[in-house]
Structure 1
Amino acid sequence: MQKTLSALLTVALIVGLAGNSEGETYTEEAVDQAPNPHYSRYFFAPTAFPLQKGNGYIQTTWLVAWSAHYGIADYGSIGFVTTPVGRPFFLTPKIGMRVADKWYTGGGVMLGYVDGDPLGIGYGLSTWGDIEQNLTFGLGWAFGAGDVEQSPLLSINAMKRFADSWMMMFESWIFTEDVSDLHLLLYGVRWHRGGQNSLDLGFIIHREFVEEWNNTFFLGIPYFGWTFGF
Structure 2
Amino acid sequence: MNKFILVCCLLGTAFFSVYAQDDSRQSSPQMVIIYLEDKSEINGELISENDASIVIRSESLGLLTFQKNEIRRIIRLDPKGRIPNPNPTRYFIGQSAYTLPKGEGYYQNIYGVFNLVSYGVTDRLSLTGGLELISTFSGNPLLFANAKYGVPVAPKLNVAASVSYLTIASSIADVSLGTINGLVTYGTHEHQLTIGTGYAFAQGEIDNSGVITVAGITRLTGRLALITENYLLPGESSVISGGLRYIAKKVTVDLLYFEGGFPAIDIVLKL
Partner of 2:226: 168
Partner of 1:11: 8
Kindly state the Cα deviation for residue 135 of structure 1 after the two structures are TM-superposed.
0.4
Kindly state the Cα deviation for residue 112 of structure 1 after the two structures are TM-superposed.
2.6
Kindly state the Cα deviation for residue 95 of structure 1 after the two structures are TM-superposed.
1.1
Matched residues in 2 for 1:188 and 1:16: separation?
A: 16
Instruction: Report Cα offsets for 1:187-219 as digits up to 9, x if no partner.
Output: 1111123x21111112111xxx3xxxxxxxxxx
The sequence identity of aligned pairs, in percent, is 24
TM-score by length of 2: 0.72
Kindly state the Cα deviation for residue 186 of structure 1 after the two structures are TM-superposed.
1.8
Unaligned runs of 5+ in 2: 27-75
The answer on 1:100 being equivalent to 2:154 is yes
**RMSD (Å), alpha carbons:** 2.0
Q: Secondary structure at the match of 1:36?
A: coil
Given candidates 235, 242, 245, the residue that maps to 1:190 is 245
Kindly state the Cα deviation for residue 23 of structure 1 after the two structures are TM-superposed.
4.8
Q: Secondary structure at the match of 1:140?
A: strand
Kindly state the Cα deviation for residue 32 of structure 1 after the two structures are TM-superposed.
2.4
Partner of 2:237: 181
Q: Larger C-alpha radius of gyration, 1 or 2?
A: 2
Partner of 2:84: 35
Kindly state the Cα deviation for residue 169 of structure 1 after the two structures are TM-superposed.
0.4
Kindly state the Cα deviation for residue 25 of structure 1 after the two structures are TM-superposed.
2.1
Q: Which has the higher contact order (CA 8 A, sep 6+)?
A: 1
Given candidates 104, 117, 131, the residue that maps to 1:68 is 117
Query: Are the counterparts in 1 of residues 193 and 216 from structure 2 also a CA contact under 8 Å?
Result: yes
The answer on 1:20 being equivalent to 2:10 is no
Matched residues in 1 for 2:204 and 2:256: separation?
A: 36
Unaligned runs of 5+ in 1: 210-219
Report the number of matched residues.
Answer: 210
Kindly state the Cα deviation for residue 16 of structure 1 after the two structures are TM-superposed.
3.6
Kindly state the Cα deviation for residue 73 of structure 1 after the two structures are TM-superposed.
0.6
Task: Indicate how the Cα distance of structure 1 residues 93 and 11 shifts in structure 2: closer, same or farther if over 3 A, else same.
Answer: closer
Given candidates 150, 153, 168, the residue that maps to 2:208 is 150
